[in-house]
Amino acid sequence: MRSTRRSLAARLTAAGAGLVLLLPAAACSAGDDDTGAARVEVFTWWAEGGEKAGLDALVSRFTADCPGQQFTDGVVAGGAGINAKQVLTARLAQDDPPDTFQVHAGAELTEHIDAGQVQDLTAEYDTWGLRQALPEGLVDDLTVNGKIYSVPANVHRANVVWINPQVLSDAGIHTTPKTITAFLRDLEKLRKSGIESPLALGRDWTQLMLLEAVLISKLGAEKFSGLFSGETSWSSSAVSAGVRDFAKLVSYSNADRDSMDWPDAERLLIDGKAGYQVMGDWEAADLEAKGFKAYDWFTFPGNGDVFQWLADSFVLAEGAPNPDGTKCWLKTVASAEGQGVFNAAKGSIPARTDAAGTGSASTAGFSSYQQSAMEDWKTATPVPSCAHGSACSQAWQNAVNSALSAYSTTHQNATTLHKALVAAATQFIKQERE
Ligand code: GAL
């Protein structure tokens, strides 16, 4: 169980006035619509491709499960919630909460709990039998001072490399690299074959995913997790070697990375302009939704059997205009049926152990990638993700993203980046201990 920490307001920078432009139309009104149906505003960043397909599947289930309730889409586009989280911060500060919002299990959720922005769902967990249906470790990660405040919809894996097999085979690459050195060799081979930017990469948070995968290889699961709990030093030579490897990997990526979201980088892979992309496993569903079925994947070189996890969950916001309708939404998210249809489309795996695709239940409708992820999740070593809120606070993630952005856009050297990472860790670990 986690203990409470200091308030979100103190950690997050105030959202700028420009954000008002990003507010979705749904933010302006809530409650009943013209037809008298009660509306539930669901705030996510699932705007397109496999992500929207997942949300749509959940909405169909909600519509069937919750007569008299109507879904209102509070979506704000931008991978990993990079825009949505800023809009949410602004809305919560203005006492204009959506009924429910998407939030990652772990450190990110804890910040909302500490700030009193989400309601206690412990009684619903008992009524809906969720303590038995969800893995114990996940329930533990969601629990603060004995109470549970969110319903997890899925489990995603972050440390995956997606490939365009045709591009690799055209360059004579037929094996999976097992080490970062071998990966760099293959990237060089691809470049020599005429693929100028063989590693498709996007903006800050996608670079953080790459950095985290490298650090898992350099440190192993336990020490990697310790980077965020304060037990592993960021100043070590292993971390600095990781940062240097990260820098080498970035040098094989597209120069316009800082202006790209993950689907833009994914497009380079689909179009054969790159051979590899490091991205979470929402990419499998997205590639399928975009009709590119000829993809393949491998766990990031050197990560062994480490499963870097993250989980999307939904909360009942404090001050939600329609709490009863929202509970019905949450019950759908929590249900075995809801998790079955949602995850099949979203590319993740159900958080419940009794939903479709898990235990002895049928895996029909799940891609072969998802079936392998389900197997791995049972046996692999889990580590959390900073880019997706399970390992670090939002403020820490923002600081690391800024350091990466500065590195990438101003062509700093690896030593400068390492120093910025050490400074961020020192500041946030100290704050968490206070
Ligand atoms: C993650 C989220 C995933 C997926 C991804 C890309 O933070 O947990 O469900 O949406 O961002 O946008």
SS3 state of residue 375: helix
For ligand 1, the distance from its centroid to the CA atom of residue 79, given in whole angstroms, is 6
- C-beta of 266 in contact with ligand 1 (< 6 A): no
pLDDT value at residue 17: 33
Tell the burial category of 267 from Cβ atoms under 10 Å away from its Cβ (0-12, 13-18, 19+): middle
- pLDDT tens digit string along 227-268? 999 999 999 999 999 999 999 999 999 999 999 999 999 999
- C-beta of 312 in contact with ligand 1 (< 6 A): yes
Distance CA 415, CA 133 (A): 47
- pLDDT tens digit string along 363-397? 778 999 999 999 999 899 999 999 999 999 999 99
- C-beta of 310 in contact with ligand 1 (< 6 A): yes
SS3 state of residue 176: coil
Note the maximum CA span of the chain: 64
For ligand 1, the distance from its centroid to the CA atom of residue 80, given in whole angstroms, is 5
- C-beta of 80 in contact with ligand 1 (< 6 A): yes
Pairing of strands 100-104, 160-163: unpaired
**Residues of the chain under the 70 pLDDT cut:** 1-36, 357-361
Sign (positive/negative) of CA torsion 160, 220, 3, 148?
positive
Which H, E and C letters describe 27-78, residue by residue?
A: HHCCCECCCCCEEEEEECCCCCHHHHHHHHHHHHHHHHHCCCEEEEECCCCC
pLDDT value at residue 140: 86
Distance CA 119, CA 429 (A): 27
| This prediction's pTM | 0.91
pLDDT value at residue 5: 32
Closest to 352 (Cα-Cα) out of 324, 369, 342, 305: 342
Distance CA 265, CA 198 (A): 11
Number of the ligand 1 atom closest to the C-alpha atom of 310: 8
pLDDT value at residue 32: 59
pLDDT value at residue 25: 39
pLDDT value at residue 245: 98
pLDDT value at residue 363: 77
